[in-house]
Amino acid sequence: MSESMNVVDLLIRLLSAESVTPDDAGLMDFVTEYLPEYEAIRVDEGGVKNLFLTRKFSEGDHLCFAGHVDVVPAGEGWESDPFVPRIENGHLYARGAQDMKSGVAAAMAVLREAKHFPGRLSLLLTSDEEGDATYGTQIMLAHLEEIDLLPESCVVAEPTCETTFGDAIKLGRRGSINGHLTIRGQQGHAAYPEKSVNPVHQIAPRLAELAGIDLDSGDEDFAPSKLVITDIRGGMEVTNVTPSDLKIMFNVRNNTRTTAEDVRSHVERVCEGLDFSLELTQGSWPFVTDRGAGIVGKITASIEAVTGILPAYSTAGGTSDARFMGQYGVDVVEFGTRNDTIHAANERVAIDEVEGLYRVFGDLIVQWV
Per the annotation, the verdict on 132 as an active-site residue is: no
Residue closest to 241 by CA, chosen among 182, 185, 191: 191
CB under 8 A, 24+ apart: contacts of 4-10: 4/109, 4/112, 4/113, 5/109, 6/109, 7/105, 7/106, 7/109, 7/354, 7/355, 7/358, 8/92, 8/105, 8/351, 8/354, 8/355, 10/34, 10/105, 10/108, 10/109
Coil/strand/helix, residue 304: helix
Beta pairing, strands 245-252 & 176-184? antiparallel
> CB-based contacts of 154: which residues, under 8 Å, 6+ apart?
63, 64, 65, 66, 124, 295, 322, 325, 330, 331, 332, 333
Q: Which residue among 24, 70, 321, 331 is the active-site one?
A: 70
Q: What phi-psi label fits residue 119: left (phi over 0), alpha (psi between -120 and 50 degrees) or beta?
A: left
Residue 56 near residue 120, CB atoms below 8 Å: yes
Per the annotation, the verdict on 129 as an active-site residue is: yes
State the Cα–Cα distance between residues 169 and 219, nearest whole angstrom: 17
* φ, ψ (nearest 5 deg) of residue 56: -95, 120
* φ, ψ (nearest 5 deg) of residue 66: -140, 155
Residues found in the chain: 369
State the Cα–Cα distance between residues 177 and 369, nearest whole angstrom: 39
Q: Which residue among 23, 24, 99, 129 is the active-site one?
A: 129
Residues labelled catalytic = 70, 129
